[in-house]
Structure 1
């Protein structure tokens, strides 16, 4: 086997790991990792994600208060112009939060933490109600803070987030008038999965969660006076349970470990329902380990990334990048910076994944749902739009949501970008001309180029081009292949 083929296979394997555990890698990062043991590379992913820098676009004292709302009153009614301006400002803050998080994903710093947080954003799906930027900022930072810790701590913290309590209507959950929405979703979507609880369990758990409220300043508070302190029977146990007791019961149930493990396996490994015998066996073994470890997320993820089966050929290239993965990965690989923020919101909305605006309580369905006739062409053309700073006249999808529509400029978007070509090109300075196309492809694509693709790609260049121009032309062409949409 020649040196190129051996190194190419090594790079493809590393590219797969960095794409699944983060948002891809630059050629320099792949080169630096090449030759190191897998254990060292995986451990580096975790050590690089040990610390977290909080997202910050709004301070608690800037949050909308009852006093401010009173100031908008005119003759006993809200001043519509003042309210409209407040909504506009709040919407812009949520947009800024979106972009700040996207910047963090694209930076490559703590990539594994940000990737896990993105997964948890889909699992603990929550969207801004009333466009309150402070609540969404706290929610996002809670996901990021606990992303690699213990699932029990994450579950408790997210369940007490004002954004989640508001989204799932627990602010309306009071004794003598219980609201079951929060209790139902905690069981169905966050822990056990559908069919692993009874309607009686939900009704009784809803009583336990009464009193879980939040203040106008965005702080969780337990209000004793509206809590139902009577005895409840949940999962066969009887007592004067509170919300924390319900969370503890859910964590005691091994079905929670299996439900979470299967979802993580689907997201990071198989990209589809866990139905094949080998996949089921692995999930069962991982779930048992996850449960015994006290729901240690880092321990679970390290086991997955170190497993031989994680790198099976059937898994590589089987995952369709989500819109956020696609955009963050493209930015990271080429050091892309947008002169104006709006196009990144435009891309997310056009492709169907706008951070902080999941479609419903179940989050984004993912997989093949990312691809449809209206978005596929735009996906394929996105690298050219970004790399060539083009004007785009594609219209975002109409989802009937005035919140997301307020973020999308009508009439398309103007892509004005700066690309760090110098660093990208430097990685190929010693690559022979005849191997340039295949070498760049190995850093960008999950599969080796097919024989019929090579001559078509070579036609994207001409003898009059400088080496730099040739690298740029090949990169744009490779990123426009269907394979670039996969990891």
Structure 2
């Protein structure tokens, strides 16, 4: 059984697409060519390159009093609002809330722009993974930004260190009641999720209040360890910095259960939470737990006995041997035969789908103004939100169902309500039309540059080559002869192949001929609009 043996197949465009689709967002032909030239190991090295953090989000909406304008005097257009006061200096609550919502929109659009511009790099895919792993919901954009910045800074780093930073992140302290956890009224919300969802997993119940990996008493004792951490109000100059109140901290030693070898967490004030996390991570199960989550995110939702034995366990051992640095294990996984055997088994998330039908199909970002760029990205955010994947607004603390809810997993993205929406969004982004999201209409022009796509396909004058090449790029595998015939019927309904050959050749000979260009554009747009609605386009 090959499993984690290094991939020995041919490094070609098909395998490059598979790796890039799973590890980044929006795979263009140029990115595929670059990956093929780099080779498998060169591509993996580039995916994990150390890069500087991106510039923070900008104010992109114009100042004014109309419905489409915003009054935010603390920030100039085109500059970041991140360093401005979290509560804008405005006379009424209505104006304050309007400015805050504008900053929210900026953050969400900026997040999609970072995915759009990620290239051959895994950081944004991992940032989204950790964002779904450490769910933390808030409505203030400053707290949201500093939370996601912590995740992005540590996305390729150490799992244990990230848990420590997230534990006292103001966003998380508020979301899971850590800021209300004090000696006089211990709150177990965060300690429970720290164990069940963030580090080790619950495991099967083996007795009353006793699970495979921890007990209910561990939840209680760990809550005491975590007492005393507070968050200041948004009007405070240190609103985004957590602080420790020794007065509100439960003093004395805390004893954990037999699941942690009856370990004692000694009194250690503001560093006690670090001692607790170190103790949790002494359990080997932490490495298996996070490796399963990464496997579901990047490879397949089906974890059989063999996968657990020959994939999860050896990769978890690599994680432990590297003191919970995750990159060595991921590099081993992505270079393996096993990774390249698991193709076409994952339904695209709404975010992956949006970039498949935009960036992968050569839709350029509008870049004449910051406002146009952010407005475009915001529509992608709203569309993904409408398809049940809303960044910063998970349905619950467990994250998106596609990555944890058995037996559906990825199938959660598709049901009788969501599938028609997915297909309609894909079609409209190709043909143009009205996207209706939350009863609001967004008029979208025909964004996909179909003539440019065809121009990059050698011998596209042959309709069979054209359609098969489109299928390879869009689906990453060959389609059947029957599917080719059906798509030709859309391209040239009822006509022989040479009709396309003649028309497209005439266009290539005279691309300034507007009538020819319009006719060829419409034919290509019609066939690509159908292809983005095919089931093959919905998986990767």
TM-score (structure 1 length as normaliser): 0.86
Is 1:439 aligned with 2:469?
Answer: yes
Q: Please list, as runs of the form range in 1=range in 2, the aligned pairs for 1:108-187 lying within 5 A after superposition.
A: 108-109=118-119, 111-128=121-138, 131-187=139-195
Alignment partners' CA distance in 1, 2:245 and 2:452: 56
Is 1:361 aligned with 2:397?
Answer: yes
Is 1:201 aligned with 2:218?
Answer: yes
* TM-aligned CA deviation for residue 159 of structure 1: 1.7
The alignment of Structure 1 onto Structure 2 pairs a total of residues equal to 448
SS in 1 for 2:481: coil
* TM-aligned CA deviation for residue 443 of structure 1: 1.3
1:293 pairs with 300, 318, 322, which one? Answer: 322
**Residue 254 of structure 2 corresponds to which residue in structure 1?**
232
* TM-aligned CA deviation for residue 151 of structure 1: 0.9
**Residue 352 of structure 1 corresponds to which residue in structure 2?**
388
Kindly name which structure, 1 or 2, has the bigger radius of gyration based on alpha carbons: 2
SS in 2 for 1:61: coil
**Residue 300 of structure 2 corresponds to which residue in structure 1?**
270
Alignment partners' CA distance in 2, 1:52 and 1:426: 36
Alignment partners' CA distance in 1, 2:252 and 2:310: 42
**Residue 42 of structure 2 corresponds to which residue in structure 1?**
40
Residues 320, 55 of structure 1: alpha-carbon distance in 2 compared, 3 angstrom cutoff: farther
Alignment partners' CA distance in 2, 1:378 and 1:451: 29
Residues 303, 275 of structure 1: alpha-carbon distance in 2 compared, 3 angstrom cutoff: same
Alignment partners' CA distance in 2, 1:421 and 1:348: 23
Alignment partners' CA distance in 1, 2:467 and 2:532: 12
Is 1:259 aligned with 2:301?
Answer: no
Cα contact 2:434–2:443 (8 A) shared by 1: yes
Kindly provide the CA deviation profile for residues 22-45 of structure 1, in whole angstroms up to 9, marking residues without a partner as x. 124101221233354211121122
TM-score (structure 2 length as normaliser): 0.78
Cα contact 1:387–1:476 (8 A) shared by 2: yes
Alignment partners' CA distance in 2, 1:126 and 1:350: 20
Cα contact 2:426–2:529 (8 A) shared by 1: yes
Residues 384, 334 of structure 1: alpha-carbon distance in 2 compared, 3 angstrom cutoff: same
**Residue 345 of structure 2 corresponds to which residue in structure 1?**
318
**Residue 52 of structure 1 corresponds to which residue in structure 2?**
53
* TM-aligned CA deviation for residue 54 of structure 1: 4.3
**Residue 381 of structure 1 corresponds to which residue in structure 2?**
424
Is 1:480 aligned with 2:515?
Answer: no
**Residue 414 of structure 1 corresponds to which residue in structure 2?**
443
Alignment partners' CA distance in 1, 2:469 and 2:115: 25
Alignment partners' CA distance in 2, 1:335 and 1:153: 38
SS in 2 for 1:357: coil
* TM-aligned CA deviation for residue 64 of structure 1: 2.2
> Structure 1 residues 257-266 or 192-201, which shifts more?
192-201
Alignment partners' CA distance in 2, 1:280 and 1:432: 51
**Residue 31 of structure 2 corresponds to which residue in structure 1?**
29
Kindly provide the CA deviation profile for residues 195-233 of structure 1, in whole angstroms up to 9, marking residues without a partner as x. 321111111110111112223321121222211122111
Pairwise CA RMSD: 2.5
Alignment partners' CA distance in 1, 2:308 and 2:433: 43
SS in 2 for 1:97: helix
**Gap regions ≥5 residues in structure 1:** 1-6, 73-81, 397-407
1:331 pairs with 358, 381, 403, which one? Answer: 358
Cα contact 2:387–2:413 (8 A) shared by 1: yes
Alignment partners' CA distance in 1, 2:276 and 2:446: 50
The structure whose RCO (Cα within 8 Å, separation 6+) is larger is 1
> Structure 1 residues 171-180 or 417-426, which shifts more?
417-426
**Residue 207 of structure 2 corresponds to which residue in structure 1?**
none
1:214 pairs with 222, 228, 231, which one? Answer: 231
Alignment partners' CA distance in 2, 1:39 and 1:32: 13
Q: Please list, as runs of the form range in 1=range in 2, the aligned pairs for 1:453-464 lying within 5 A after superposition.
A: 453-462=483-492, 463=500, 464=503
Is 1:192 aligned with 2:218?
Answer: no
Residues 426, 153 of structure 1: alpha-carbon distance in 2 compared, 3 angstrom cutoff: farther
**Residue 17 of structure 1 corresponds to which residue in structure 2?**
19
Residues 178, 86 of structure 1: alpha-carbon distance in 2 compared, 3 angstrom cutoff: same
Cα contact 1:123–1:190 (8 A) shared by 2: yes
SS in 2 for 1:391: strand
Residues 255, 377 of structure 1: alpha-carbon distance in 2 compared, 3 angstrom cutoff: same
Cα contact 1:380–1:482 (8 A) shared by 2: no
> Structure 1 residues 328-337 or 20-29, which shifts more?
328-337
Kindly provide the CA deviation profile for residues 371-428 of structure 1, in whole angstroms up to 9, marking residues without a partner as x. 11111012122222112221134xx5xxxxxxxxxxx4x2443224644557644432
Cα contact 1:125–1:358 (8 A) shared by 2: yes
Cα contact 2:490–2:526 (8 A) shared by 1: yes
Alignment partners' CA distance in 1, 2:487 and 2:128: 34
Alignment partners' CA distance in 1, 2:531 and 2:143: 41
Q: Please list, as runs of the form range in 1=range in 2, the aligned pairs for 1:389-404 lying within 5 A after superposition.
A: 389-393=432-436
